[in-house]
Amino acid sequence: MIRVAKYPKKGLMPLPHESNWEAQRRDVLLLQTTKVLRSLGQGALLVTFAIYLDSLGWSAAAIGSLLAAGGLLHSLLSLPVGIASDRVGRKIFVVANEVGLLGAAVAALLTANPWILGAASIVGAFGRGQVGMVGPAAPAEQAWISELIPAAFRGRIFSTNASLGFIGTGLGSIIAAMMPSWEHLLPGSLAYRPFFALIVVTSAVNLLLLARIRDSRAATERATRRRSADRDVSAAASILRSGKPLTQKERTILAKMGAINAMNGLAIGLTSPLLAYWFNVRFGVGPGSIGTVFAITYFVTALASSLTGRAADRSGIVRSVVTVRLLAVGILTIIPLVPWFWLAAALYVVRSALSRGTQGARQALAVGLVSEERRGLASSINNISNSLPNALGPMAAGVLLGAGFLTIPFYFAAALQFGYGVLFGRVFREYDKPSQPDAASSRGTAVR
């Protein structure tokens, strides 16, 4: 049974926008359950999708371009989704993404036609390993969760949420590692089709779970007020305008966050989406071995994410993020040099735990930089500034790998992540305050 991180007892930290605390706990639990289920298919395809395309005759450059196209679409959609979710509510966008994912999985299950498979991959972001994230609806989901939990516990809860995504992705990698057991029944490229069936099942279950979750009352009340206020304004204008304007401080810090995140996003795009393909080309190993490595990686990363959340409570989010990210850079430079698969795999496990384990803490920082009614926008900027450069990375990496340059993407990524770690610490130092369950934070005040 999936456990939600411990929350303050009812009555000690009431949330201003929700009196039914037990109902909120149930909603968070259901959202976390959908995250785990969604990450199962994402983890399986992270291991197998690029290799599947290779078995169908796709070139490395074509595979990288397809992964880039999916990331690019989701990046471009995330900003308008985040803005719109501040006005009309969060749930509708999370549900719409799940419907799109279900349709894409059905199409990929039924045919290997390159045009249909390519379109399905772009819609479903197959092979990008989103660890349970909801594609372009991620800003809406993150803002939704932030409205259900006290501000003082945001770092811990977001880290727990990230851990659940890593656990689900690890379980999906185990499923991918089991592929040799049915290859004799589905020879050739057909052996990869069951992974799309897995997504069909989990997406259908998620839609049933999402139907039981209410949109946050805060978002619903804002939507009601604004629909009344904008009765005579066009629908397009009413979505683009949102409440009171950002303060100068909010604009400045969000711009800096976007610029720094772009470095990290490009670095991730140069290595992670095509890593299974790199292992396959570099060492000649298949989904069985790669799936096992990825499973261990994500389980260890889930533990690291949980520990990072606790460290953020004690010593602050920024300090925790910078310390582990800089350690990860050194390991990244070593991975392409080692001559043995299992040594490279072990280094990858450690590096991923250090680097990705900070994901939840970084998300918590982003939603705390602005006022409550702008959290969808803040989450959008946090996501798009990472995901847009990330989308371009696989295209460049695919060209380099196809030309035989198996080490260059790692060195470019290491340089970018070093710069990211240094700048992150300098820019967000003033926001690096340990979480304290005081009266102000219990009322959900944003970090200023």
pLDDT-wise least confident of 4-13, 159-168, 301-310, 346-355? 4-13
Q: What pLDDT is attached to residue 245?
A: 66
CA distance 411 to 415: 6
CA distance 282 to 344: 10
Whether the Cβ atoms of residue 33 and residue 145 lie closer than 8 Å to each other: no
Query: Region 279-289: what's the mean pLDDT?
Result: 90
CA distance 243 to 236: 15
- The band of 372, judged by pLDDT with boundaries at 50, 70 and 90, is low
Question: Per-residue pLDDT for 292 more than 50?
Answer: yes
**In the predicted structure, residue 208 carries a pLDDT above the cut 90:** yes
The whole-number pLDDT of residue 33 equals 92
Q: What percent of the chain has pLDDT over 90?
A: 29
Q: Which range, of 105-114, 352-361, 389-398, averages the lowest pLDDT?
A: 352-361
- pLDDT value at residue 312: 57
Q: Over the stretch 171-188, which tens digit does the pLDDT of each residue have?
A: 999 999 999 888 888 888
Using CA atoms, how far apart are residues 59 and 281, in angstroms rounded to an integer? 12
Q: Which two tokens stand for residue 168?
A: 């689900």
* Average pLDDT for 320-342: 87
Question: Which two three-digit tokens encode residue 231?
Answer: 């009765």
Q: According to the model, what pLDDT value does residue 436 have? A: 45
The pTM for the full model equals: 0.69
Is the pLDDT higher at 217 or at 90?
90
Confidence (pLDDT) at 385: 80
Distance CA 102, CA 73 (A): 17
Minimum mean pLDDT range among 23-27, 272-276, 314-318: 314-318
Look at residue 20 in the predicted model and tell me its pLDDT: 55
Q: What is the pLDDT of residue 121?
A: 93
pLDDT digits (tens, 9 = 90+) for 6-56: 444 443 333 444 445 566 778 888 888 999 999 999 999 989 999 999 999
Q: What is the dihedral of CA 285, 290, 296, 297, to 10 degrees?
A: 110
Buried b (16+ CB within 10 A) or exposed e, 127-151: bbbbbbbbbbbbbbbbbbbbbbbbb
> Which carries the bigger pLDDT value, residue 408 or residue 441?
408
Find how far residue 230's CA is from the centre of its chain. 34
pLDDT, greater one: 93 or 434: 93
Condensed to tens digits (0 to 9), the pLDDT of residues 374-429 reads 666 666 677 778 777 887 888 888 888 888 888 899 999 999 989 988 888 888 77
Domains of the chain: 23-442 (1.20.1250.20)
Query: What average pLDDT is seen over the chain?
Result: 78
Lowest mean pLDDT among 159-163, 372-376, 435-439: 435-439
Which range of 322-326, 336-340, 429-433 scores highest in mean pLDDT? It is 336-340
Q: Which residues contact 107 (CB under 8 A, 6 or more apart)?
A: 116, 117, 119, 120
Please say if the pLDDT value at position 268 is more than 90: no
Neighbours of 192 (CB within 10 A): 24
